[in-house]
A and B are shown apart, each in its own frame.
Chain A
């Protein structure tokens, strides 16, 4: 049963610390998305990759956030330095674009709390 995995599942850290979240997409999927979900803003797209190349990171605060895909089995989202307003659940999703249509498979999320 193929699924997207994310680590860690929960992270509590103090303001100013670096946070790294990891995602393993489903094998064979060539598109990876990072989302952030909060009660106030809902689900926001931060960045996405196609074949490991970043296609759009316009939703991401560039001064502190960075997203990379070092290889096809790993995507990372890094926050440095973290701030309390970054507290949210961060989801990774992967998919393929077949015939122009894009179904996404979501991971379980990383719940980040910045104190």
Chain B
């Protein structure tokens, strides 16, 4: 079963606006990662946040992690049409496999 649950399942915003996606999980984790998938393509790693970190930035991406609430959020600022994709959170519990959520489908309207 999938550990991560993304919310919302789908999000549609205007270009230039900020997009926020949330992920909740059930068990203790080693780290949490966010991936992007463009239609018909493989997943691309965006950012990794360790369990002892609370916030991380990479370009227009900002990720937060609240281990007490077992949740994470991904913020994309100043969205662009090219950001249209599905976004997945993935949790790593040991040193091995990742468990992916169902994803949030983000549409940026010009």
Contacts and interface: CB of A to CB of B under 8 A. Distances in A.
Contacts of A48: 96-97
Contacts of B87: none
A106 B42 contact: yes
Given A91-B42, A91-B43, A109-B42, A104 B98 contact: yes
B48 A101 contact: yes
What DSSP secondary structure best describes chain B's contact surface?
strand
B100 A102 contact: no
A43 to B, nearest CB: 4
Nearest to A43: B100
Contacts of A31: 96
B31 interface: yes
Contacts of B102: 42
A97 interface: yes
Interface residues of B, number: 23
B95 interface: yes
Contact of B96 (A102, A105, A106, A108): A102
B24 interface: no
A101 B31 contact: yes
A56 interface: yes
A103 interface: yes
Interface in A34-59: 35, 42-43, 45, 48, 50, 55-56
B33 interface: yes
Interface of A: 4, 31, 33, 35, 42-43, 45, 48, 50, 55-56, 91, 93, 97, 100-109
11 contacts: A33-B97, A43-B88, A91-B43, A93-B42, A100-B95, A102-B97, A103-B33, A103-B45, A104-B98, A106-B42, A107-B42
Given A102-B96, A106-B43, 10 more contacts: A35-B100, A42-B102, A45-B97, A55-B96, A97-B95, A101-B31, A101-B92, A102-B95, A104-B43, A108-B42
